Chains A and B, each alone.
Chain A
């Protein structure tokens, strides 16, 4: 899992690479979401030109693929910041004081949830449950999980993200 801890270095979009991804997954039954995940893993987001390509390969309308793409919270239509900080906002983390820490992270970063800092370093996102509900509040920085957050730990996490 160590690779996931590193800030991701993504490829830049090319139609050839897009085709390659689509073809490599042609055997996957009902695989539109699998392809969208693969696109995002490669490019850091799902580039707009990929949508009609997936539609063509899967014998679907462009609208159908666009519909799938926009339904799911995970898929991005533009690259995220260099680091992505996801803070759990669900009930168990609320019960453990998560709301105040979430507000603290917003204040430190100067952005609201769902936004990226002006310097493109940090994207701050809510996440609804990491399943770390007995070591709450919790967060995930670029795939690395952090539990038992307190003011000190959230500050350190924000500082790490800003680096």
Chain B
């Protein structure tokens, strides 16, 4: 502990968002600077803490804790390194990372290690309370584990909000020669990146959650279906699985127990609809991602016709905390029937965008104005879309809506996967409605008519409205079409596309009419 004490430990995120704004280049720049100065440094690549407007946010270990700097550009490297060595001031110095108010205000249960640990190291995961949930699960029987998950109140974080414990119990109670655990990591909603961040920043929490699920329901094989747009997450999960296997946390006898569990990553191929669970199962089986009619439920007949637990990444990632700290510790957070925390993603035209994990119940207004700081363009917020391309657009009048499954449903919206996309006053809402229909038309699997045909007719009808052709009649057609899609579609793609369309029409009626007139009026 003499020479190594002098080694400067620098943390540069490997998260894709940090990489997209230059984190990899910073690694080379720091190495070059250190070599010139003959300075001993060690660079560690954690995930991101989620303060994405500050990325690349880098940290240095000091006696006071990890001190952050950001956003750091290549030109800043020399002076930042000076400040690191001297533990002195710098314009980009943010202080001890954990003390940054934006981070301190959060309740990090799922993302507690993200941005902190080295995602390639099982040892680091364990050193930060990892695998304690599994250790406890191994002392319980199936019913004991499922009781904890049920009591915690955890609901599917993919968007549907179905109680996770009930899903697990159904699979546990179904007899079969093989059962499967499937992790839905096809995070296709624009404005969402929590799955990506946790997979890149703390892959073991997902692995641990899936392993506990396997033990609970009696499944020995799990698949993680990750979209191809996430190459960094694919790499992180593959490395995590390999490391967990080496350490005896996956494989034949998990930690010397009688339980076997193995994991495999499968990569999607650019179809949004594969985020729908039955379409995902079809895709995993190597087929077109065509939605299946339910029943049978995947819990009864899922992957390869066997009982299958299929949950979102964030649902699995919540499990280790629940098993480790008890169901009550999780259920103590939240409001109404929405228990625990939600990793909310603030995106689009927002000043302080990133991942904000907080108990359910915070209002939309607090999230956008107080946490998010409004738009980065400095213009007024006009609309926010919550819950991805299938989520409703809310105007400022609805900013008192608390983040809660039921509260959003009551206002014809949905929280979905917790993504919020902010738009300023330059947004054209009939254009956004048109995009929702167009996206549905591109991504429809084609199985049911309301979605396949309705979306194309929807684009045409909105085009007519925007051209000023018989506007009132065509708005009536659009409403009728949306109703047909909402109630007649087989899955959420066709069924929820009307949410952005109808909410845009309802809250921003002035945007639905001939474009030239509107633009003149605005000038």
Contacts and interface: CB of A to CB of B under 8 A. Distances in A.
Contacts of B403: none
Q: Do most interface residues of chain A lie in helix, strand or loop, or is the interface mixed?
A: loop
A1 B15 CA distance: 13
A145 B20 contact: yes
Given A71-B271, A75-B269, A95-B349, A138 B20 contact: yes
Contacts of B289: 71-72
Given A72-B268, A143-B231, A145-B16, 4 more contacts: A73-B271, A90-B439, A95-B421, A148-B21
A90 B439 CA distance: 9
Report the 5 A-B pairs with minimum CB-CB distance, sorted nearest first. A134-B353, A95-B348, A90-B190, A147-B20, A133-B347
Contacts of B332: none
A128 B192 CA distance: 12
Contacts of B187: 131
B444 to A, nearest CB: 11
A36 interface: yes
A9 interface: no
Interface in B363-418: 376, 385, 389
A75 B304 CA distance: 24
Interface string A11-55: 000000000000000000111111011000000000000000000
Contact of A92 (B232, B271, B348): B348
A120 interface: no
7 contacts: A1-B235, A68-B286, A91-B348, A94-B432, A95-B422, A131-B196, A145-B19
Interface centre among A4, A29, A75 (most CB of B within 10 A): A29
A158 interface: no
A94 B19 contact: no
Contact of B17 (A74, A93, A134): A134
Interface of A: 1, 4, 29-34, 36-37, 58, 64, 67-68, 71-75, 88, 90-97, 127-136, 138, 143, 145-148
Interface in B228-280: 228-232, 235, 266-272
A29 B455 CA distance: 34
B16 A130 contact: yes
Contacts of B346: 134
A58 B287 CA distance: 12
A95 B229 contact: no
A147 B191 contact: no
Nearest to B221: A29
Contacts of A33: 266-269, 283, 286
Interface string B338-362: 0000000111111001100000000
Contacts of A133: 190-193, 345, 347-348, 353, 419, 421
B191 A92 contact: yes
A32 to B, nearest CB: 4
A129 B189 contact: yes
B287 A37 contact: no
Contacts of B20: 130, 132, 135, 138, 145-148
Contacts of B272: 128
B439 A128 contact: yes
B232 to A, nearest CB: 7
B16 A91 contact: no
B283 to A, nearest CB: 7
A34 B349 CA distance: 37
A95 B383 CA distance: 10
B333 interface: no
A146 B25 CA distance: 12
Contacts of A1: 231-232, 235
Contacts of B309: none
